[in-house]
Amino acid sequence: MVDSLRAAVVGTGLIGGSILLRLRERGVDVAGWDPDAATRAEGRARGIDFPDALADAVRDRDVVFLCGPLSSLPETLRTVGGLTGPDCVLTDVGSTKGGIAAYAAGHGLTGRFVPGHPMAGTERAGLTAASPALFDGAAWVLCPTAAGLDRFRTLAVLLVDVFGARIVPLDPDAHDAAAALASHLPHLLAGTLAATVAEADLRDAALGLAAGSFRDGTRVVGTPAARTVDMLLNNRDQLLAQLDRVRGLLDRYAAALRGGDAAALADLQQRARGLRLALLDRELPAAAPRTFPRALPPGAEPDDAAADGELAYLLSLGAAGGYLTGCEVTDATVTYAAHLPRGC
């Protein structure tokens, strides 16, 4: 499938650029486009197809990856949706999914658009910082819908084949809640740590003593501020809810410190450490493959019962912490290979 695929990437910064470079490395016919003329020139200098007009970059493509700043993605989706035909699959890479899924529904694009979020990045920016290996083995969230199941399958096959990605199917709201914990909160706490030291009387002495714990704890603060602010604001309801829980935990740490309660502190640290060890030791066992009827021949109405079964399977898999490592589509069926936490 990959050999004959024609893809485009719109917005070729760190994330989009890394997607483009990997597609190209794997022999996919891929065009790039970026609103920045210097980036387009850089792309062309590297021998990549980088037309000046967006319409030329996305015309007759099978798949278009919508990248670039988070706040720009709804407008990009609307524009590219208008420039491409009904068979072109659209997906994005934004770090929140509820807003753009609702936007797609409001613009009649739910059937063509599969919200996505590859879980990798660095604090650097731009096509020059892009790397074809950025997503090696990374979790890649896709949000399937009943109307867009066939497009979900197309993308799952592509992302597994080309990126070696672990596909995590999630409902947009579940994604936003989990991403608040896994990504947005770490960014906010890193910012808090660095800002606390920045405003301290002993700023310079503290910098003089900073070693591994401070370096690791502030690494993501190097991300361009506008990118982080965009991300935090776009998920603010989920983030505020998690922030309340963080403040509750800080209260527990403070109470234990004030009371000299070593047992309470040890309990908190053991909980935290257990989570860390679970993260490091996260090789999930393979689950039994699941096969569903592919009840959507071209032009037919979606078979709601069949689609619901497949959709329910996918969404519960992701919510349980599992991921797909394969998707095989025949004329009549679709079969998923998956990994799941023990006991799920």
* CB of 55 or CB of 198, closer to a copy of itself: 198
Tokens 């690494």 belong to 219
**Interface stretch with a copy of itself, choices 20-28, 146-154, 278-286, 289-297 (CB under 8 A):** 278-286
Give the whole-angstrom CA distance, residue 284 versus residue 265. 30
Contact (Cβ atoms closer than 8 angstroms) between residue 19 and residue 135? yes
To a copy of itself, the closest distance from the beta carbon of 273 in angstroms equals 5
Strands 333-339 and 89-92: unpaired
- Distance CA(123)–CA(215), nearest Å, equals 13
Site membership for a copy of itself, residue 330 (CB under 8 A): no
Q: Is 121 in the site for a copy of itself (CB under 8 A)?
A: yes
The residues in 293-322 that bind a copy of itself, with binding defined as CB under 8 A, are: 318-322
Which of positions 237-266 make contact with a copy of itself (CB under 8 A)? 239-240, 242-243, 245-247, 249-250, 253-254, 257-258, 260, 262, 265-266
The phi and psi torsions of 336 (rounded to 5 degrees) equal -105, 135
- Told to check if 286 binds a copy of itself by CB under 8 A, we report no
Provide the 8-state DSSP code for 272. H
Residue 270 makes contact with a copy of itself by CB under 8 A: yes
Q: How many residues bind a copy of itself (CB under 8 A)?
A: 101
Which two tokens mark 286?
A: 């393979």
Beta bridge partners of 337: 326
Helix axis angle for 172-179 and 304-319, nearest 10°, is 10
Choose one: 152-160, 207-215, 292-300, 304-312; the region binding a copy of itself (CB under 8 A): 207-215
What is the smallest separation between the CB atom of 278 and a copy of itself, expressed in angstroms? 6
Residue 172 CB partners (closer than 8 Å, separation 6+): 97, 98, 101, 102, 115, 143
Distance (Å, whole) CA 77 – CA 106: 12
Out of 272, 286, 312, 332, the residue judged to bind a copy of itself by CB under 8 A: 272
Q: How far is the CB of 95 from a copy of itself (least distance, A)?
A: 10
Residue 81 or 191: which CB sits closer to a copy of itself? 191
- Beta bridge partners, 49, equal 31
Q: Give residues 136-195 in contact with a copy of itself (rule: CB under 8 A).
A: 138-139, 141, 168, 170, 174-175, 177-179, 181-183, 185-195
Cα(335)–Cα(344) distance, integer angstroms: 19
Closest CA to 71 of 236, 237, 239, 230: 230
Q: Does 337 interact with a copy of itself (rule: CB under 8 A)?
A: no
Per-residue contact flags (x/-) with a copy of itself for residues 62 to 101, judged by CB under 8 A: ----------------------------------------
